[in-house]
Structure 1
Amino acid sequence: MDLHKRYKKKVLNNTNTLREKETLELQWYFENVTLKTMPSVSHIQITDPDEYTITETTKYCDVILEDITNNDKKALDEKNMYTKISENIDVGCYIYFDSSFWLVIFKEHKTINDKKHFIVRRCNQFVNYKYKGEVYKIPVSIENLTMYSDGLADGVNISTEDAKRQIWYGNNPITRLLKVGTRVMLTHNTVFRITHINDFEFVGNETGSDGIIKALVLQTGILKKDDLENNIAYNDNSEIAQEDENLEIIGSDRIYVGSYKDYNINKSSILFELEDTPYAKLENINDNTCRVIISSNSNCIGKSITLIAKNNNEVVDRKKILIIS
């Protein structure tokens, strides 16, 4: 054995550099000592990227949750969260802690890769969104933007309500159904319409998650079809379509280079295909869900691919997907 190999085995513990050795030691200490001895360790449920909410099958993780010193009402209660490097967590995921849902809103890019550091924000409301007959309960964090006005817009003869709110929620296949113009009910007697969607400011960049969305909503009128009792606002896509021709592929229209996205369609026995492309490959997960995996080659950035859904060998929908960096 030459001198260099002896040095790596004895001093570096078979790592390549001293920095790598120390980083691995810090990772080991965090996972085997800190996570087992710190009083602030919690065993909680955390969603995977693109998992829209917490269910019985959501994974459990050991994490450290610490209060932020200068917390106030404006921050709506935010906390630092530390996890193992190996945990599949990113911006836009949800956690369940202290009988509340919390949204992961920020990830710190650490110079020493010994653990992951996030900031989580408590969700203070739910949006019940009905899509094609099924109701999805989406945890959200709401900010009141009507702070220095009475929330009324004065016209020539009448005054109309124009209260504004900002809603934070994870970017996933369900919440991406909420478009500009979608109506949401935040209480049992007030309905708001989405007027702007910010899905580019807080973006996940590690596992295919799209981060968080901040939607601006404006108060609007109540319709007869609004379900005030169950807190569900009516939209054009609330009810089940009468014909299969209205089927559409659900999923993001953007994928990061070197990552993947899952797509599905609200019907069984669907065959997915990609138009001839060297930039991506396809994996079928079940009879109505597929995974599109993008090449790590940077030459494909800015290129578009087309996902096709077929039923009984007939095309029911096409979706154009942009590859981004």
Structure 2
Amino acid sequence: MKHPAAYLASSLALGAVVLVAMPAQAEDIVVSNYGVSANGMPYAIAEAKGYFKEEGANVTGILSSAGGGTTLRNMLAGSAPYAEVNPNAVILAIQQGADIKIVSDNVLTVAEFVWAVKPDSPIKTIKDLKGKKFGYTNPRSTSQALATMVLQTAGMKTDDVEMVKTGGFGEGVAALDIGVVDIAPVPEPLWSEFQNKYRPIAKATDLLPPLANVVGVSVGSPVPAKAEFIRAVIRARRRAVTYMEQHPDESGDIVAKVYNLEPAIARSAVKNLITSKTAGIEYWGTGQIHLDGLKRAIEVQKMVGAITGDVDAEKMIDTQFLPDDLKALK
């Protein structure tokens, strides 16, 4: 079992990939925080069930990336035809001149987020946080933006609390343990591991609207072979999401092996998220673009200065790789 400190990366950490063509049928794909954060769980199912091969994608490896500025620098010369990253990363890369497009909308909400306190904490509601230490991962991160939104639901501002950078979700749990912070975000699968140890006072599903969480991206004009590979990956992932809905326990067991989790924890995380609805929107999408959620995500990141300037969300989207029944924007 991973110690909380092992969860160094945010499930919604920034990352970017510039993808270049290479003459090969067998390809790697890149998934931010694969093996750590909940967003990438469907890929574990697609690989284990053989969906990639059945759909015509010879996926030789699912590469994990921690995101952030390091990912942006390290992945600019990458060769993977397809990647799953935070939309912020796509926007920043495009603003810097990268020829990449959003080709699928993969995680549609931030339902994995719970903000928790110690069981004996006097904090019972968000309003009780006034003057308290509020943990978040890193400046301009999604966790900082969401913390701002959580406070706003109670008519509060970040000035009403002391915002404390922890550097990661695992580190945030450790900081909560020793009293460095009074509240910390504990996303899945960490929440399923520690839900008996902490008390939630805010859940994203209850407070926040649907927000684009991670998206699939590719180069603007991939060569035909890579275009078919991308279509096959999207189809395989879609099948995996359906399998997770129909077989949550079996899916949890697969995830447990890939994510190095106890089966009960993985099963809990999968069940929690596969049954989650935020304003009627599921957590794991099948690829169809939810434009409103993407626009909300952009505005949220502007709130903390992660994104600046005008952003035309529709110009970043290319639906040609989606199955015909998913091509319409929602």
**Structure number with higher strand proportion:** 1
Q: TM-score, normalised by structure 1?
A: 0.25
**Structure number with higher helix proportion:** 2
Q: Which has the higher contact order (CA 8 A, sep 6+)?
A: 2
